[in-house]
Structure 1
Amino acid sequence: MIFPESGKMIEDYRSLAVFAAVADAGSLSAAGRRLKISKPVVSRRLSRLEDKLGATLFFRSTRSMSLTPEGHAALAPARRKARACRRIQGDDACVGKAVPSATVALAVCTIVSAGRCVPP
């Protein structure tokens, strides 16, 4: 198993969720659609995870991705950790989807006098 032997702690649960999604979907694009994040974000998170582990997790071609032996060894622990994160913090925190928020201020004119708005 790659995690205990490497001695590296993986704290980036988002990268683990992305790794599992790519393994399930077979491509970066499909994983991005499934997770509702862009392909470049998927690629960046996967690359960072591989850098942290010091291992290549996927064989890449122009048409598909398949797990390397290291990827097979890392997949079950990654799924367990990503699942634990979702149970504790929810999907958005563990996958990294942006939750839209905004403050909107509206001004309403009740009287228009000499081409100017007079606030209420």
Structure 2
Amino acid sequence: MLKELISLFADSFIKNKSEWVGRQAYPSRRVSLSTDLSEYVPPADGYLGFYKPDGNSSYSVDIYAYGTDGGIVSRKTLGISASAGEFTFSGIVPVKKGYRIVIYGTFTELWFSPSVGSKY
């Protein structure tokens, strides 16, 4: 009886916690960044967002995040030849606190969204 009660309590506790843990990764808010940045080191885990509308002067964009081993762990890239015309591009890259993010391209909007579970 006691074993079943403990098992029932543990199961309900773990289910409730796993849902809570899963929600901690979602973006919480938007912090605007300068569009002149070429690198960024996030103050917390979260997402780097970017927007480049049709009509911007540069025809390629590249944003990538380095991992602890020095290799690229997350990346968004788009390149179009100048003769192909203009393009619109937007997205987010998951980023980790303290890891260097490289930003190449001309953007109209650039922002950081800390995750719900971060202390930022």
TM-score range, shorter chain: under 0.3
Structure number with the higher helix fraction is 1
The TM-score normalised by the length of structure 1 is: 0.22
- Bigger Rg, which one: 1
Larger fraction in strand: 2
With a CA cutoff of 8 Å and minimum separation of 6, indicate the structure with the bigger relative contact order.
2
